[in-house]
Amino acid sequence: MIKRWRYLKQIAIVTSGGDAPGMNAAIRAIVRSAYSKNIKALGFLRGWKGLITNTHRTLTPRSVGGILHLGGTVLNTSRSQLFKRQDGITQASKTLVSNNVDGLVVIGGDGSFRGALELSRRTNTLIVGVPATIDNDVSGTEETIGFDTAVNTAMAEIDKIRDTAISHERLFIIEVMGRKRGFLAATVGLVAGAEVILVPEMKLDREVVFQTLKENAAKGKKSGIIVAAEGVEDTAELAKEIESETGAEVRRSILGYAQRGGNPTARSRLLASLFGEKAVETLAMENGGSLVGLQKGEIVNVALDKSCRTSKRLDLNALKLAATLAT
């Protein structure tokens, strides 16, 4: 058998876009998997900016020690506007050549992968994506690194808010992240026992929300939790409307950036380790233009261009189940 990985001498890693808990676990897995195949590793700093400015550091099995359990990314990250321009991409591709980078692993979300796709069209360096975003909105994988941690963080916060909601007999609208998608809201809403879940994928029907809350009150429910994705319309306005329609006291709470930080859960670390290993294996087989993903329990490769042009479908059954269980 020909061990083709012998041809690959050096790979690079970049973390890009919003950070997600487990990115460090992925960096560790990639570096150590690479070294086990005699492949060296570089880390570009501050997302795509590092490729444009040629800012990097050498990564070794020792230098990635002690980071497995840390949130954020030791390589730092950014959202680079320059990378959306042709000159930015050209510069990045020159950086890869000048540093003898045979393969690049991009750890990030869908925006990062659109950048990766553009770059892959302008370079001979093999590129593989590792999905990491709390939004879980990358097409081609059932789950992204960091999603489970964010779900747990948001659930823990909502559990606390539930205490005060019950004590004061109030309704709470709790806004969770997710940009324009409702993956986080749907899962968090289900596991936190929300009475109502609002996601951008479903048109907000105010009458249904008022009706549900009024019925709950009639059944004896004196408090309630409404989980709303940030991509849903103005929740401050909605809180006022609910107050005037139901007569209940309503408060709003925005969970914000805490959802993006903290130590990754076991599940996020496991996914990061499996994705990291698969990314290196993919490059070692001299395959690029793909991302790694989780499908039906298997770690698979997905074409980068297909992932970028497909929108991931939100399973609305979670909302139906949450509604049934919150009666």
Report in angstroms the alpha-carbon separations of 100 from 43, 236, 276. Answer: 13, 52, 21
Q: Give the nearest distance from C-beta 71 to ligand F6P in angstroms.
A: 13
Considering the complex, state which of residue 133 and residue 246 has its C-beta at the smaller distance from ligand F6P.
Answer: 133
| Bridge partner residues of 226 (DSSP) | 173, 196
Identity of the amino acid at 238 = L
Please tell me the distance from the alpha carbon of residue 104 to that of residue 251, in angstroms, as a whole number.
46
The answer to whether the beta carbons of residues 258 and 158 sit under 8 Å apart is no
From 19, 102, 135, 148, active-site residue:
135
Distance of CA 91 to the CA centre of its chain: 27
Neighbour-count burial for 283-319, b at 16+ CB within 10 Å, e otherwise: bbeeebbbbbbbeeeebebbebeebbeeebebeeebb
Please tell me the distance from the alpha carbon of residue 327 to that of residue 172, in angstroms, as a whole number.
17
Considering the complex, state which of residue 31 and residue 150 has its C-beta at the smaller distance from ligand F6P.
Answer: 150
The answer to whether the beta carbons of residues 289 and 303 sit under 8 Å apart is yes
Task: Name the residues that contact ligand F6P, by CB under 6 A.
Answer: 18, 79, 109, 133-135, 177-179, 230, 260
Q: Is 135 a known active-site residue?
A: yes
Considering the complex, state which of residue 61 and residue 261 has its C-beta at the smaller distance from ligand F6P.
Answer: 261
Considering the complex, state which of residue 125 and residue 187 has its C-beta at the smaller distance from ligand F6P.
Answer: 187
Cβ-based neighbours of 112, under 8 Å, separated by 6 or more = 16, 17, 47, 48, 106, 129
Q: Give the nearest distance from C-beta 33 to ligand F6P in angstroms.
A: 26
Q: Give the nearest distance from C-beta 134 to ligand F6P in angstroms.
A: 6
Q: Give the nearest distance from C-beta 157 to ligand F6P in angstroms.
A: 15
Considering the complex, state which of residue 17 and residue 293 has its C-beta at the smaller distance from ligand F6P.
Answer: 17
Q: Give the nearest distance from C-beta 241 to ligand F6P in angstroms.
A: 24
User: Active-site residues: which are they?
Assistant: 135
